[in-house]
Structure 1
Amino acid sequence: MEPKKRRLAVLAAIIEHYVEYGEPVGSKTLAELLGGVSSATVRNDMAALAEGGYLDQPHTSAGRIPSQRGYRMYVDQLMRHRALPEDLTRYIDLELSGYSMDPDRFLSHAAQMLSGMTHMAVVTTAPSAEDACITGVELMRTGRSSCLIILMLSPAVLKSRMCRFNAELTDGELDTFRHVLRSELCSRRASEINLRAINRLRERLSELSDIAEPLLTAVREAAREGSSAQVMLDGQARLLAHSDFDDRALRGLLSFLSDRERLGRLLSDCHQSLNVCIGTELGHDELSQASIIASRYRSGHGASGWMGVIGPTRMNYSGIIPCIEYFSSAVGRIMSALECDARC
């Protein structure tokens, strides 16, 4: 093997072994992993990689660990790309489809699943805009006295609320609600659904005033949420289980994650469909020991949101990347289908 290729193989082996076991890697272990290479040759390669800034040595007598530059080289050039097993993708699809009737809970459930599979924190953003226009309304019966209201907003944002009435709801009453909401709300900005607009709806539904109030409350809440940015975080407690963070770094990371505005800006600065940012690349001191893998999902009509996995720089990049890519693809696919159902 050519010296350059061998050194890259050494770097990849160090990173994959360190990611799995969390211990510095020595030349003897590497020689056994690579096979056909002497410990002396491996030591020379490790020295060259350390000189190039790809490896660090935490203690004089210890083995080597990847540096931030080493992780970057691994992600960009050395990592083996793999697809998720078919049985896992079927499981993900089945679990997500069970929440597809409720867009808001659906996105939250997707984040919970992704956090559980990766053992990392997960941040998600729902596409929204101050000038979002209501392009569709749907009411779906969920019980004798309950229904789900879904507002479709441009650009392709879905907001939903559950309505529970104080009496049994007939099909005729449901049709009346649907007709009035569509005629009053479609083509209006979500930010315009204020008290005056709700009073207008109340007048139109005066014959059903004894049961209409829960619906009017749900409409205003969904419209208000649709006109503001939404950043959700799940699984931050999982970061406590990672020994890679020292106490100061962990406190800084958790403090940063508690600021939804900063977290949202961090994702909005991503420019590619898949972004892997490592340590100081993130541009925040609080994130210097962390990495973020962010994948964009597209929910139709060009609208998009983000799913991001947050954890220590010692994370399983080759396993997490295909996982988040599949989740973001599935989320976009299911949300696009929901938009079609909710369109006026």
Structure 2
Amino acid sequence: MEDESASSALVTGCAGLIASRTADLLLDAGVPVVGVDNLNDYYDVALKLHRLDRLRSRKGFTFVGIDIEDKPAVDKLFSEHAFSVAYNLAARAGVRYSIENPHVYFSTNVVGSLNLLEAIRRHGTKKYVLASTSSLYAGQPMPFIETLPVNTPLSPYAASKKASEVLAYTYHQLFGIDVSIVRYFTVYGPAGRPDMSVFRFIRWIDQGDPIQVYGDGSQARDFTYVDDIARGTIDASRPLGYEIINLGGGNNPVTLLELIGKIERQLDKEAVIQHHPFHRADMKVTWANIDKAARLLEWRPEVSLDDGIARTVRWYRDNLPFAAKIKV
């Protein structure tokens, strides 16, 4: 084992949007990163490889192609590397698909998390950072604060993330693992997920295809730029004991119709909108109280939605024709 491995960071799901940027920022800070990903086909693998190829070109990055559901593979990983911190950013995401295929959400988000916690316990990794979701706050008063009860998840996805949070608490209590859980609010940015609204709206407006909107477009989100999320995730790796921390825009939520207007202005094109019935598993509005992140992490988002949309549209244009061929 190389000496530098003692200060390595583990980043699971490293080909994903948030994890790839988190790995980037760690590498920028001189932290060696071991990234793992199973490169599943929930969305177009070409986009995951696009992000992964950039990481592979960087000094200090090591890729291991494993699935965190595979306990022997996780055990082998921890036997071969010593990690100062494990960022568990691998997850099956997406509210609607979790209703169609709930088992895979629990096998990745719960069993996978358990495999990591067991390896962390046995190998003495000091810090565990778990990515969670604002979807847990369904039905709670806004802005959402971390002390709210989150016992009424509306989807198997949200239920699986609640379960992974509870597991992390158990391992903190039993084995003294230092845990930070970061609840993300609607993350977007360059090379973003093609199953989410920002990527799809940019693509559809640019190509002149009708935008598919579920509901009347008044549903609103606390959009948060990916670099802000990655920075907050790394900030959460400091010793905290056990904390749950919101990472979100923290401003008044923006409706889908407002978002569409911002994208129209960046592309200088007009959207054609097709409305569909509102999906019962979707939340009407999300809005983060981020006072705790400011207090514990000295973190606040720095990239405005207008600036973030401009950067995302720029990435889309700079990466044509590749970006126009990604399956949505």
Which bin holds the TM-score, normalised by the shorter protein?
A: under 0.3
TM-score, normalised with respect to structure 1? 0.23
TM-score, normalised with respect to structure 2? 0.24
Larger Rg: 1
